[in-house]
Structure formats: C-alpha cells, structure tokens
Amino acid sequence: MAVKLDYNNMIDKVVGSEGFSLEDILTLDIRTAHEKMEQKRKDNLTDWRDLPYNQKDVVKEIKDYVSAVKEDIDAFVVLGIGGSALGPIALQQAINHPYYNELPKDKRGGYPKLYVLDNVDPERLSYFFEIVDIKKCLFNCVSKSGETSETMSQFMIIKSLLEKELGKGNISKHIVCTTDKEKGNLINIAKEGGYKVFYIPSGVGGRFSELSPVGLLPAAMCGIDIKKLLTGAEDMDKIVSNPDVQKNPAYMYGALHYLAMEKGKNISVMMPYADSLKYISDWYAQLWAESLGKKYDNEGNTVFVGQTPVKALGVTDQHSQIQLYVQGPLDKVIVFLSIDEFRRIVEIPKIYEDIPSLGFLGGITQNKLLKTEEYATEYALVSNGRPNMTISLEKVDEYNMGALLYMLEVATGFIGELMNIDAYDQHGVEEGKDATYALLNRPGYDEKREQLRKTYQKDSMYTIG
Amino acid sequence: MAVKLDYNNMIDKVVGSEGFSLEDILTLDIRTAHEKMEQKRKDNLTDWRDLPYNQKDVVKEIKDYVSAVKEDIDAFVVLGIGGSALGPIALQQAINHPYYNELPKDKRGGYPKLYVLDNVDPERLSYFFEIVDIKKCLFNCVSKSGETSETMSQFMIIKSLLEKELGKGNISKHIVCTTDKEKGNLINIAKEGGYKVFYIPSGVGGRFSELSPVGLLPAAMCGIDIKKLLTGAEDMDKIVSNPDVQKNPAYMYGALHYLAMEKGKNISVMMPYADSLKYISDWYAQLWAESLGKKYDNEGNTVFVGQTPVKALGVTDQHSQIQLYVQGPLDKVIVFLSIDEFRRIVEIPKIYEDIPSLGFLGGITQNKLLKTEEYATEYALVSNGRPNMTISLEKVDEYNMGALLYMLEVATGFIGELMNIDAYDQHGVEEGKDATYALLNRPGYDEKREQLRKTYQKDSMYTIG
C-alpha cells in the first residue's frame, strides 16, 4: 500500500518518557474493540464501510450525469455544511490545480469551477453573485435530513433567484440534490421540482459521507477519478480490517491516540507538509471532534472526553505553531502527512554563493528544502520529547486519497470503541439547534424559548467598551 | 470604541463553577504586569506599540508608491512566511471582496490581485506561474533578517525567472523588499539591485508586525485605507493603556485567559461569526502560540507553558466542532468574534410555509439566522458550563480592524507578563532551523549534523505499510 504509518516517534525508546512501549499498546483491549467494529459492520450500523463496494451503479450514474451537464455550466456550487462541504473542499484541493477556479475552462478539462458555500454569512452569498452568472450555475443542495437550516435557507434564496432570472418552469436543470432516499423534505421538494437526485445511504452519517455521492458528485464534476478513489478505499479496507494492531495502521493510529489521551494529551495536531493536503486537516477536524467529543460513555456515565483537533501546515506553520509544539505543554500528539513525490520539481538557482546564509540554498530543489525541514521538525520534536507520527503517501492521487480518508475513518471508529463511546452520534449540537429554532419561532419550541429567556441573561457590568 | 469585550460568560455567576469571580480577576497582580508593560514600552522593547504614531511619512511613501505602480501590474505577490503572510491575508479577507482575485480590475478599483506565497511547496509555486504573467507581477519579498530560508529561496527562484523573461537590467521594477534598515542580507541585495525598500523597525518582531510596512504595503496595494487602520490602533492604544483591568479589554482578555490556563484550560478557540474574519484566527494563532508557548520563565525555571490556539468559524463549525466544545473535556476558552452590522443583507423568501422545519426560515434574513445561531451557540455553551467571551465589532472596516489587531497584541503581551515569560522570543524554532541548516550543509553546522545522525534513527519495526 502506498499509504504508510510510521509511528517510531511515538515509541518511548525513541522519544523518551512521553512515548509508549509496544507493551502499552498490546495491553489495550484491541480484540474487543475489533469485535465491536466487526459487529457494527454486520449489523449495518457502519454503512460507510460498504461504500467502496456497493456503488458501481452510482459511479456510472454520476459520470453520465457529469458528461451530460458539464458543457453547459461554468460553476458547480455546493450548498452544504459540515461533512457536505469539508470533504469536497479537501479532495478538490488535494487532486486538482491549486488555482483551479482561476484557470480557463479548457485548462480545467472542460469541467466547471467549484464553489462551496457552507456558511450563511450574508456577505458571502451576496458577493458570490457578483462573480458568477447564475444562469450558468448548477447548484448541488446537500442535506440528508432536508432540514439543515443553513443549507435549506440558501436553497430557498437560490431557488427564488433562479425563478426570477429564468422563469418558474426553467430552473430544474440548475439544481441537483443529494439527500436521503426516503426521509426528509428535500426528497419531496426534489421530486416536485423535477430535480436530479443522488442518494445518501441511510446508515452513512455526515462526517463519514465523503465517499458517498456527497463527495463523489462534486469530485467527478471537477474531473476527479472517483472510481480510483473508491479502489483506494477498498484496498485500504482490506488492510484496516486486520485484527492485528501491528499490521493495521488505522488501529495503531487509534490505539496510540487513545494512550496519548490517557496520558493527558488532549490535543491532536494534523500537519500536512504539502499545500495540496491542507484541507484534509479541516475534514479530519470534524471527523475527530464530533466523533470523539462526548459527555457520556456507552453505559451512560458522564465522562466529558474528546481530543481537540488542531490544523497546521508544514512548513508554513513552523513559523507560527512549532515554537509552542516544541517548548509548550506536553499536551499534544502531532501527526505529519508526508508526500514522497510531489507533482512538480522546482530548482533553486545557484546564486548568492558568497552569502553563507543563502548560498547553501542554491542548487537544491524546493522539494528537498521542504522535505529537509519536515525531517528537521520531526527531529526537533523528538529531541524535546514530543511524540509524533507520520502518515506518508507515495504521491497525492485519487487512489491514495481514497485510502487515506478511509484509514482515518476506521481509526476514528476504532478509537471510539476503545473509549467506549458512540462515535456516530452528535447529541451535543442539539441544544444550540433547539435554541435557534426557539428564537426563530419554529412551531413546537415555545417551552425552549421560555427556558432560554429565563436562564440566560447578560450583565452590562461585564462588558468593556 | 466600536470594539467591545463582553466577558459575561466567563463569570461564575453566569457560567457556573468553571467560570471566575471578579475577585479572582482582581487578586491577580495586574499592577505589576501593567508596570512591566509600561517599562518595556519606555525601554523601546515593544516598538510595535509606537506603530500607530510614528508612521506618518511611511504611510505617505507607501501610498505614493502604490499610486505609481498599481496601473502597470496585475498581481502583487507577497513572498513571506509567518507574520509576513498571516497578517496580510487576514486583512485582505476582512476588508475586501471575498472573491477579490476573481473580479475584473475595474471592480477592484484598479488595484492588482493579491497572492501570498508562504510555503515552499514546489507544486504551489510551479502552478502559480500558470495563472499569472510574471511580466505583470510585482513581488514583495518580506524578511527582516534576510535569511528566512523559505522566503529567500522563493526570491532566488523568482529573481532568476524575472531575469530570464525580462533581461538582467529590467527586473528592478518588479521587486519591492520589506526588511530591516541595517542588518541582514536583504537590504544589501535590494541596494545592489536597485529595488524599492520599505523598512521594518528593528524592535518589531514578525508576529507583531502587521501594522508596520509588512502589513501596510500589501493592504494599501489592494486599496485598503491604511491611515484608518492606524487610527483604529491609536484609539485602541488609549483604551488598552488603562491600568484598570475592568476598563481595559486587552488586560481583561489576558487576565481571564491566564485564570483559565491556571484552571487547566490549555486550549483557546477563536471563532469569528463572519467569513470576513476567518483568517484573523490564523493571524491570532501565530501571535498566541509563539508568544506564550515557552519552556522557561523569566527566572530560567522550566515551565512548559502555553495555550494552544484553535481556529473555528461560525456558523460553519457548529457542524464540525461544537459537539466537542459543548460535550467534550472542560479544557477550553472559546472567544467569539461578532459583528453587529454586515455589509449586506440577504432575505430568505417566504416559501415552503407548509413545511414546519423550513417555513419558519421564510421571511427572515440570513443576517438574523446567523446572529441567532451565534446567540444560541453561546447559550448552549453556557448551559453546559463552558466559559466563553465575545469580542464584538460594530462593523468590519479598517478602523475597527486596526483596533482589534492592536487589542489582541496588547492582550498577548499582557498575559505574557502575568505568566512571567518573554512573549517576544521564539527560541523553540531554532532547533529545527539548525537541523535544516545542518542537513543542507550550510557552513558552520557540521557538529549539529553529526549530533543529528547519532541521535535520531527510525526503526522499520515501527512502520506499517
């Protein structure tokens, strides 16, 4: 497999007392956690694990759809939030040209530009319509429940705009929905409007949905080979189904983070050394935070657990975060994402040879400079007793990205089992959602509104300015 | 002042046992910390505090320069890393159109596009030259020491490229340097090449340099009113020089974070509720991490202190991080950046009135939806006993941004004094830098190279894949 996990720098023999021994790892109840993973898979509670296998028809349908529509549109616009936005952004940045939207269409292979509107910021939406022609846009409304307020309110605005610009009967070609097959509003709205629909399998939650049509459609629309993506995930699935933690990179990743959390390391840094992988950290941040941040364990005990994901980028953040990682509290695990081979080589010319602090740069490549800095940062962390590990990719392509995403998903599920929590729920977001509904007078939330008004008051004494 | 600090939700009466009392705050040795701040100012150790006052001529020079060059160039390209990149990106995103680079030049007020190349990723640089015409670019090389490997290697590549394209004698108009007036290589290189130069005052470190020419030049080059920026900082300076913590938002911000750290809250989340402020979190992350992440205190005791900054964005990250913030460990302070008035209003049309989960959205504005979600998230955090505070801006403009940045800088300096550390050094990055130099055979680093080879070895036993 072209995706590897190097956990040398998590081992006490290498990194010192903040590290772990093989015995620490093997003492964990890996077997029970593995059995729970297998059982959930059998019980169809983790349907995202089947996505590499059961989407042959979906892939064909998506590809046919893309071929049919791509010529007529300038921009493919995702209306989605959370997993519906983070995965598509991460893949686009990884695979395609870093300035994709600034290329002319022929340099994009005839594919449309990609925009992801995940916030309800009014400035964002309003300014967005100054740079696109709505008549040449295809909007992808993504919501499994069909009641995500942010996405659906954007949809409502855009549907009305389209009707105004094109006439009521002419908008269906400009909308494609990704939603649940049976439940929710969006499927009904789509049927009524005659919009094209792709389905999110019912057992696939938002943060585990990137390899479903949620991620596949935007990817294919930008020329990404989604079949290879799924093949990478499939091949990784075979590896991460191995019960032996020493042969299973996802289990090892989860086990080591579990040990780290037990030791008080409540922060997990994801630090790719490549611009192309920058937004993998954002996608991972949702996966790790929502899955592991929990008040209760599986027995209902109050536990308040979870590790906070932090996004960093090498080498850039050596000039921003490394001071803290090297000298600050011993509260972190740092994960490097490393690429063996970049798609380009850039040479630094042999000039300023008489200036010692510059001359040594001449004649090497940027590739070598970056890789050397990465190695040096690892070394600096180890020298200061800071555990870290490296996930390395031979190169950034669809196959390896599919494998990487899938590996991190399984790692997340696995650590959830070790922690004895439900990695697949997110009850903690309900309080805020309910309060929003209450304050906006959604029917059925009167009691919540009363409660909110009674319990939450601010005091001007505690405001400065 | 149009920038306010609301710390209600840090107070125990509001948020419960994880909060603090006024007495907790007033028991801190605010006076000594204040005196140290004043003394450092007098001793010219914090020259960044003078930037709002002593740059009248610099502002004029920058404006004249911008007027003279802007017509001839399509793109202004910053070569810089750390503070030289994070500040310019943050301000550009805050003040200008969110799709600025995609607008035609006349819609940008005749100003050039802005690109910031902060990484040495070879793909980034190579692909970059596919979307710009190098003959229409002005490159701003920013390095105080003139020996920042990343920036200087980029400069070396670009200088050679320019010479190839334009001829050796014709490149000086395409380069402008920002560096120290006396020390380092870049000033000499600039003089020799006849490049325009702006100076970074010697007592202004990278992460405190945004209000110096480091930030002012890129800002002015994109039409941002840098005079107003400095006026905002100046007016804020008057407020944050007040020794009374209850009247000084920077001191209060620092004091509350100090108390939070003492209570084991090792994470500081910055969560703007506005796309325009998203990159303020990146700028803040460097400021907070590098300034406070320290191994030693001022007496040389080993302390391993620092709070890890985390970037989040409202409402987007409600669908990514809030689960963790509401239900996870009690290890965070969350700071909201809140805007009273957005520059646009977007209405959600009154449709789907028969669908209860959508109908309530019709007829309100996106502005109201966002503000309601922000309030609801605050409430959810408070209901779950999670301390948080809000910095609110009347609106996003130059004046308020200057005030905000300056306030956060003073807050950082102040908490450094409370922590009894040096907030202005960054010795922790030297180890990695030295290792890089050693591995790339920079003269004088032979010993380091030997040490590295002897002490740092990886074992294939700890690699999977």
Closest in B125, B360, B435 to A440, CB measured: B360
Distance from C-alpha of A250 to C-alpha of A412, rounded to nearest angstrom:
8
Confidence of residue B1 (pLDDT cuts 50, 70, 90): confident
- Closest to A236 measured CA to CA, from A221, A246, A247, A226: A247
pLDDT value of residue A351: 96
Q: Answer yes or no: is pLDDT of B286 > 90.
A: yes
Of B185, B290, B318, the CB nearest to A432: B318
Chain A residues with beta carbon closer than 8 angstroms to that of B126: 344, 346
Residue B330: Cβ within 10 Å count: 14
pLDDT over 90 (residue B264):
yes
Q: Measured between beta carbons, which residues in chain B are less than 8 angstroms from residue A372?
A: 436, 439-440
User: Tell me: the pLDDT tens digits for A195-208?
Assistant: 999 999 999 999 99
The model's pLDDT over B413-455, given as tens digits with 9 standing for 90+, comes to: 999 999 999 999 999 999 999 999 999 999 999 999 999 988 8
Distance CA A404, CA A281 (A): 12
> Percent of chain A beyond pLDDT 70?
100
pLDDT of residue A146: 94
Q: Could you give the CA distance from residue B279 to residue B457 in angstroms, rounded to a whole number?
A: 38
Q: What is the DSSP secondary structure assignment for residue A46, as one 8-state letter?
A: -
DSSP 8-class letter at A275: G
Domains B3-41+230-419 and B47-224 share a fold: yes
Q: Which of B315, B434, B439 sits opposite A150 (nearest CB)?
A: B315
Active site residue ranges of A: 290, 319, 433
Mean pLDDT of B115-135: 97
CA distances from A294 to A254, A289, A356, A424 (A): 16, 9, 53, 10
Pairing of strands A3-6, A388-393: antiparallel
A-interface mutation test, from B400, B436, B460, most A Cβ less than 10 A away: B436
Average pLDDT over residues B232-252: 98
A326–B contact, CB cutoff 8 A:
yes
The answer to whether the beta carbons of residues B111 and B215 sit under 8 Å apart is: no
Instruction: Give the least confident one: A269-273, A322-326, A378-382, A456-460.
Output: A456-460
- Contacts of residue A7, Cβ cutoff 8 Å, sequence gap at least 6: A252, A253, A256, A389, B462, B463, B464
In this prediction, residues A318-343 reach a mean pLDDT of 97
Q: Which residues of B touch A366 (CB under 8 A)?
A: 120-122, 125, 153, 157
In contact, B179 and B186? CB cutoff 8 Å: yes
Query: What pLDDT is recorded for position A458?
Result: 85
Residues of B assigned a catalytic role: 290, 319, 433
Beta-carbon-side half-sphere exposure of residue B6 (alpha carbons within 13 Å): 17
pLDDT digit string, tens, across residues A131-153: 999 999 999 999 999 999 999 99
Cβ of A82 within 8 Å of Cβ of B351? The answer is no
Does A290 contact chain B (CB < 8 Å)? yes
Of residues A147, A206, A465, nearest to B1 (C-beta): A465
Mean pLDDT for chain B? Answer: 97
**Residue B99 touches chain A, beta carbons under 8 Å:** yes
The CATH-assigned architecture of domain A47-224 is 3-Layer(aba) Sandwich (3.40)
Strand partners of residue B311: B270
CATH number for the segment(s) A3-41+230-419: 3.40.50.10490
Residues 296-315 of A with CB under 8 A from B: 304-306, 308, 310-311, 313, 315
B289:A344 CB<8 A: no
Give the one of A189, A351, A365 whose C-beta lies nearest to B160's C-beta. Answer: A351
ipTM of model: 0.97
pLDDT at residue B459 greater than cutoff 90? no
Pairing of strands A308-311, A267-272: parallel
What burial letters (b/e) apply to B441-463, b meaning 16+ CB within 10 Å? Answer: ebeebeebbebbeeebebeeebb
Average pLDDT (A223-252) is 98
Residues β-bridged to residue A192: none
Give the closest-approach CA distance of B60 to chain A in angstroms. 30
pLDDT at A293: 98
Domains of chain A, by residue range, sit at 3-41+230-419, 47-224
So what's the pLDDT on residue B455? Answer: 86
The more confidently predicted of residues A458 and B187 is B187
Going by pLDDT thresholds of 50, 70 and 90, the confidence category of residue B139 is very high
Contact A458 B383 (CB under 8 A): no
Model pLDDT for residues A402-443, shown as the tens digit of each residue: 999 999 999 999 999 999 999 999 999 999 999 999 999 999
Instruction: Tell if the pTM clears 0.95, that is, is over it.
Output: yes
Q: Which long-range contacts (CB under 8 A, 24 or more apart) does A21-27 make?
A: A22/A246, A24/A259, A25/A245, A25/A252, A25/A255, A25/A256, A25/A259, A26/A245
* Cβ of residue A45 closer than 8 Å to a chain B Cβ: no
b/e A178-205 (16+ beta carbons within 10 angstroms → b): bbbeeebbbbebbeeeebbbbbbbebbb
Least confident of A445-454, B344-353, B369-378: A445-454
The average pLDDT across B219-243 equals 98
